Structure 1
């Protein structure tokens, strides 16, 4: 259950536990919480475990410069560390830090790797069910791997033909395409989930994990079909917050392994992963001349400049410029 927040003391005494509590109250995602705490911890260790209250601008500058000059960190890595430390000082400690002067890491503009349509289908056809279905949703709907895994049965609207992504990146909900070609397999997957739910009920397994304390508000909802994960794990696991034995969703590493193996079987030599399906989704829509703003909405990008990077992909693919030889 790597996406369920671990419990914290009611009145935390450890510094990092206090930081975690503040981050949760601030409403940030669990992934952001873990990233911030990681970089704050690294900052403390770099300065020989000095307390952040006893440090400030000079120590932050030294650490950020160290990341670029000694660790050869990327610009994005350095930015993550900077964001974590600014949150720590400006928000948590209420010790504002201004006018930092440090050595910036060199920013490299990388064009996303994409599959051709034939490559994507070749990879998908080398994956067994239900992991094949997960890959189809990543390619056909532009879902991130964690968005696929966290889908509940109720999030797929077969009659309207769309999928609802709950609490996506940045805590945003959005709707995206439900590929018509996968509807029969998805309906079969729902039946599998229904049978598994009946088995779990008969053996006394606790209801599925419910977010935001909904379990207390709706005690029976955890055993309802709509709230079940669309891709449940084969194994039961222990909820770290309540010690209840539940059935969570498939772990990210499981689907990632299946996709990596399929890429190898398909004899494709690109540096690719599950996320390449999402890049390929956006690129196909651009090739089909869909509006950039519409693609931004489907992808869930806050800034349209993030979506515009796929225009560079099309340029590299030769979508606009033709070789003289051709």
Structure 2
């Protein structure tokens, strides 16, 4: 029986932050990042409670990140966003100075792009267990997490399309299913189905479902349609529910496999899995596809974001003739 004489323990600040983030349906990655920066802010000021601090303390922490830690502009903006979330949505404090804190201006850099030959070489060097993931990323232009979060129901072989659910900005979009991937994906799904049937036989919990779907359709996570296209070989513990279930391949796992392949082929370009998306967009533009089409395939809200790839193809063979080359032609 609950002892009514004992006052209920006030929730810890970080628990409040976590609960608020989840109530607003932020991603698990955002939750991890925001908690990291909020904890860093509190530790930087000797474990003082944020409600006892103000603009001077916040700016001191951000200045330390920029000057001492030398974090990038995007990382600096993420730390600021975490602290603004803390004050506005958790502590429910809206000070005039919150709007006055300036955000650092990010430097826009040209993306790293591989040639078709380099893409082929790197993809062939990825270990067979992860090669199809790399081929899917390059063949569709998906972001890494968009590719890893594909479900069985998202692949439409008949119409040769892949539906991206809740991509960046929580937007859905449709991309092409390359004909060269149809066969390998069918083979992958046969292996996944065997894994799924074994999980059902052993009473494994269904896969994670977004939002309130798990409450509305209790057994949907156990159905074939909702299974991951690229599941892990081993079960893992869901950080939100504590249940042991089948998760998709971790992004760090593929990143390590991709880095190993890049090193194996002695590629000098600083390529990452996201480079496959950059290469996809650039190669489509080089093939003279309309930039609006490329924008839709990439899921960009503004065509100006897609325009960055036009700067890449304006150099080299598709660009201006160097005056030195003109001189040598004489």
Task: Return the TM-score normalized by structure 1.
Answer: 0.88
Matched, 1:283 2:282: yes
CA contact (8 A) 1:89 1:97 kept: no
Q: Which residue of 1 aligns with 2:325?
A: 325
Q: Which residue of 2 aligns with 1:76?
A: 74
CA contact (8 A) 1:29 1:170 kept: no
Range 218-227 or range 157-166, more displaced: 218-227
- The runs of 5 or more residues in structure 1 that have no matched partner are 1-10
Q: Which residue of 2 aligns with 1:259?
A: 258
CA contact (8 A) 2:139 2:280 kept: yes
State the alpha-carbon separation in 2 of the partners of residues 159 and 305 from structure 1.
33
Q: Which residue of 2 aligns with 1:25?
A: 23
Matched positions, count: 315
State the alpha-carbon separation in 1 of the partners of residues 320 and 84 from structure 2.
44
CA contact (8 A) 2:281 2:309 kept: yes
Closer, same or farther: CA 24–220 of 1 in aligned 2, 3 Å? closer
Q: Deviations over 1:261-285 (max 9, x none)?
A: 2222323111111111011011111
Q: Which residue of 2 aligns with 1:311?
A: 310
How far the C-alpha of 1:242 sits from its partner, in A, is 4.0
Q: Deviations over 1:268-319 (max 9, x none)?
A: 1111111110110111112122222222221122333322221222234452
CA contact (8 A) 1:72 1:105 kept: no
What are the equivalent positions in structure 2 for 1:128-277 lying under 5 Å apart? 128-277=127-276
Range 248-257 or range 312-321, more displaced: 312-321
Q: Which residue of 2 aligns with 1:8?
A: none
CA contact (8 A) 2:165 2:171 kept: yes
Q: Quick one: which of 66, 71, 74 aligns to 2:64?
A: 66
Matched, 1:48 2:43: no
Q: Which runs of 4+ in 1 moved over 4 A?
A: 104-107
Q: Deviations over 1:184-226 (max 9, x none)?
A: 1111111111111122222232222222242333233223211
- The secondary structure found in structure 1 opposite 2:321 is coil
How far the C-alpha of 1:12 sits from its partner, in A, is 6.8
State the alpha-carbon separation in 1 of the partners of residues 206 and 10 from structure 2.
29
- The secondary structure found in structure 2 opposite 1:34 is helix
How far the C-alpha of 1:183 sits from its partner, in A, is 0.3
Closer, same or farther: CA 12–22 of 1 in aligned 2, 3 Å? farther
- The secondary structure found in structure 1 opposite 2:318 is coil
**Rg comparison, structure with higher value:** 2
Range 271-280 or range 60-69, more displaced: 60-69
- The runs of 5 or more residues in structure 2 that have no matched partner are 1-8
CA contact (8 A) 1:68 1:105 kept: no
What are the equivalent positions in structure 2 for 1:107-146 lying under 5 Å apart? 107-146=106-145
Closer, same or farther: CA 217–116 of 1 in aligned 2, 3 Å? same
Q: Which residue of 2 aligns with 1:100?
A: 100
CA contact (8 A) 1:74 1:105 kept: no
